[in-house]
């Protein structure tokens, strides 16, 4: 009586129980779940007629549209493997990922067609090119194919260990690696999300997170499992976000801390009235306690911090306050929420390990590397056994994140191991220094990296974005840091910039800052 653990099971159930409930809002388009899944079936049938079968790869380069969302059902239910690509990458990256994955079909949004037309000849393995919002010369038209194809297709048997997606990492220092996610991986992450972050039937989820990023943290399936509504957002614009929250009665959203900083600092004349009660899930970097306090105190939103990686599908911890934390003040409560937290019920085992492979003491001080094993850890890197062996050869996936474990079991990241600053033999957490600077009323964003120093080896340098209309001097911020930190942790240099270099998912690219190629200095 066993059935495969696959997120396609969520589609089956919601289709049966909630066919007339609103499924998708994308600009003027509104679809019920019955209409949405009919479109998915028609596209599955069209792909099957193109020769796409079990194990074949179908690549997508698109923002958060209904067509991109449909790919997470139409491709997997054929037993094929979806390759959702970061649409903000370069043409060279597109060529590499499409070729490396062996994609048979490439589907792209109209915004990317011109770039792709220039490199199509470099993708010899692609047999069909489909424009998601066409028509376009030399491209097949997605909407016409969906409309003209019968929804009948032959569904293969799918095992939970079959590949569901290949998600490519950012590739900030090397070629991106293809993370192989199985049906079981995605199912377990979605169930864990539903257990800890209880989105319910009929609630409304705003797509402020890119769907291509770790499969939208599996919310492409989790929202459907809850029979909630997907409200698509094609690009982050603060005014548009607040408009949709009001107009579409949004109750949930996910966002990187950099997006939350933008929302928290949106002028009142742009944001308008802010509905309270919105549930916010954040990850990707440690959110500053100050940002959490502002969103919860000023907006009346509820912020939950989770932690994970593309390689872990992605969630492996959630920071849920416990009953004994109820008496904490707002500042202490926000500081607790800025921790990474504890294992999800479904994610498997997590430990912070020292250099010898032993677990560090739960003292909130001893630093080690986060390592995990369990149901959400990837099957490996696609066509890269050496890289796979390097990170999980001993049965534990090594995350590269340096952390401590507090006495209550809550894990708190101190830094990426490669970002720890060693000054005069002392370890400095860039995250800790950033958190202090973000408490200064003039600071909107801050990034800390180590720079060479004749006496100490290296010392912290701060790159700072000031709030609109605010001012501060370098000496003022250095003094502020020294007043709130051990003096050796305070930055010795401060550079004011208009913006920080970031990945498409909002992570600050510290390697760019270390190379001295930060954004244009504030005039």
Query: What is the pLDDT of the chain when averaged over all its residues?
Result: 92
pLDDT at 232 over 80: yes
Amino acid 453: pLDDT: 82
Residues β-bridged to residue 372:
350, 397
Find the mean pLDDT for residues 373-390. 97
Q: Does residue 89 surpass a pLDDT of 50?
A: yes
Same domain, yes or no, for 260 and 405?
Answer: yes
Residue 154 within a domain: yes
Which pLDDT value is given to residue 520?
Answer: 30
Domain membership of residue 457 as a residue range: 420-514
User: What is the arithmetic mean of pLDDT over 144-155?
Assistant: 97
* Sole residue written with tokens 């003039």: 442
Least Cα distance to 495 among 466, 457, 521 occurs for 521
Model pLDDT, residue 286:
65
Question: For the residues 311-325, what does the mean pLDDT come to?
Answer: 93
Say yes or no: 51 and 88 in one domain. yes
370 and 461 co-located in one domain = no
Contact 7, 40 (CB under 8 A): no
CA 349, CA 231: separation in Å to the nearest integer?
34
CA 440 to chain centre: 27
Last residue of a domain, one of 388, 416, 444: 416
Q: Is the pLDDT of residue 343 over 60?
A: yes
441: CATH: 3.30.300.30
Average pLDDT over residues 14-18: 98
User: According to the model, what pLDDT value does residue 287 have?
Assistant: 66
Q: Do 307 and 406 share a domain, yes or no?
A: yes
My answer on whether 132 and 277 are in the same domain is: no
**Are 492 and 453 in contact, with CB atoms under 8 Å apart?**
yes
First vs last C-alpha separation in the chain: 68
- Find out whether the peptide bond into 405 is cis, omega within 30 degrees of 0: no
User: Would you tell me the crossing angle of helices 33-49 and 66-74 to the nearest 10 degrees?
Assistant: 60
Q: Which pLDDT does position 91 carry in this prediction?
A: 92
pLDDT for position 504: 63
Is residue 165, in this structure, part of any structural domain at all?
yes
Please, which pLDDT band fits residue 46 given cuts at 50, 70 and 90?
very high
- Per residue in 273-302, pLDDT (tens digit) is 999 999 999 987 666 677 888 899 999 999
Listed in sequence order, the residues at least 6 apart from 256 whose beta carbon sits closer than 8 Å to its beta carbon are 209, 282, 283, 284, 285, 505, 506, 507
Does residue 338 fall inside a structural domain?
yes
Q: Both 404 and 491 in a single domain? A: no
Least confident of 4-13, 420-429, 437-446: 420-429
* pLDDT digit string, tens, across residues 116-136: 999 999 999 999 999 999 889
**Chain center to CA of 174:** 20
Report the pLDDT value the prediction gives residue 523, as an integer from 0 to 100.
Answer: 30
**Of the candidates 372, 400, 416, which is a domain's last residue?**
416
pLDDT score of 171: 54
Among 337, 339, 487, 459, residue whose Cα is nearest residue 403: 339
CA pair distance 45, 322, nearest whole angstrom: 48
Kindly tell me if the per-residue pLDDT of 522 is higher than 60.
no
Same domain, 371 and 448: no
pLDDT digits (tens, 9 = 90+) for 156-189: 999 999 999 999 987 545 688 999 999 999 999 9
Q: Are residues 404 and 463 in the same domain?
A: no
Task: Please tell me the total count of domains within the chain.
Answer: 3
pLDDT for 394-435, tens place per residue? 999 999 999 999 999 999 988 888 787 878 767 788 888 998
pLDDT of residue 505: 65
Given a cut of 70, whether residue 502 has pLDDT beyond it is yes
pLDDT of residue 508: 84
Do 389 and 429 reside in the same domain of the chain?
no
């Amino acid at each position: 009586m066993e059935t495969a653990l696959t997120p396609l099971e969520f589609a089956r159930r919601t289709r049966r129980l909630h066919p007339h409930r609103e499924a998708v809002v994308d600009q003027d388009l509104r679809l019920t779940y019955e209409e949405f899944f009919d479109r998915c079936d028609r596209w599955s049938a069209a792909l099957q007629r193109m020769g796409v079968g079990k194990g074949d790869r179908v690549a997508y380069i698109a923002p958060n549209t209904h067509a991109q969302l449909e790919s997470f059902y139409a491709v997997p239910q054929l037993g094929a493997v979806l390759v959702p690509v970061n649409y903000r990458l370069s043409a060279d990256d597109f060529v590499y990922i499409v070729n490396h994955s062996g994609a048979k079909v490439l589907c792209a949004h109209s915004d990317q067609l011109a770039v792709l037309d220039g490199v199509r000849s470099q993708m010899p393995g692609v047999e069909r090119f489909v424009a998601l919002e066409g028509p376009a010369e030399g491209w097949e038209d997605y909407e016409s194919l969906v409309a003209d194809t019968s929804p009948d297709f032959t569904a293969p048997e799918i095992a939970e260990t079959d590949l569901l997606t290949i998600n490519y990492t950012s590739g900030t220092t090397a070629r991106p690696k293809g993370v192989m996610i199985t049906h079981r991986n995605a199912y377990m992450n979605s169930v864990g999300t539903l257990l800890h972050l209880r989105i319910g039937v009929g609630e409304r989820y705003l797509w402020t997170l890119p769907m291509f990023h770790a499969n939208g943290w599996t919310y492409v399936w989790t929202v459907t499992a809850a029979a909630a509504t997907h409200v698509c957002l094609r690009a982050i614009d603060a005014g548009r976000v607040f408009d949709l929250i009001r107009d579409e009665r949004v109750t949930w959203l996910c966002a990187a801390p950099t997006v939350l900083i933008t929302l928290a600092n949106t002028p009142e004349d742009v944001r308008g009235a802010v509905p309270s009660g919105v549930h916010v899930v954040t990850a990707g970097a440690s959110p500053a306690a100050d940002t959490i306090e502002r969103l919860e105190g000023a907006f009346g939103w509820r912020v939950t911090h989770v932690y994970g990686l593309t390689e872990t599908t992605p969630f492996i911890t959630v920071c849920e306050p416990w009953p004994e934390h109820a008496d904490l003040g707002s500042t202490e409560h926000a500081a607790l929420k800025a921790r990474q937290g504890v294992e999800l019920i479904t994610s498997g085992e997590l430990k912070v390990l020292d250099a010898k492979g032993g677990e560090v003491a739960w003292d909130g001080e001893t630093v080690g590397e986060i390592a995990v094993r369990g149901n959400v850890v990837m099957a490996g890197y696609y066509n890269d056994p050496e890289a796979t062996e390097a990170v999980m050869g001993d049965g534990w996936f090594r995350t590269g994140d340096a952390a401590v474990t507090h006495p209550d079991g809550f894990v708190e990241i101190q830094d990426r191991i490669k970002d720890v600053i060693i000054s005069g033999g002392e370890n400095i957490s860039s995250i800790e220094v950033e958190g202090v600077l973000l408490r200064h009323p003039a600071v909107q964003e801050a990034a800390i990296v180590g720079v060479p120093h004749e006496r100490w080896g290296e010392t912290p340098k701060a790159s700072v974005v000031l709030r609109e209309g605010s001012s501060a001097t370098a000496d003022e911020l250095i003094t502020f840091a020294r007043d709130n930190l051990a003096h050796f942790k305070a930055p010795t240099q401060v550079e004011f910039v208009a913006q920080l270099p970031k990945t498409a998912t909002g992570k600050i690219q510290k390697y760019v800052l270390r190379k001295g190629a930060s954004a244009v200095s504030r005039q």
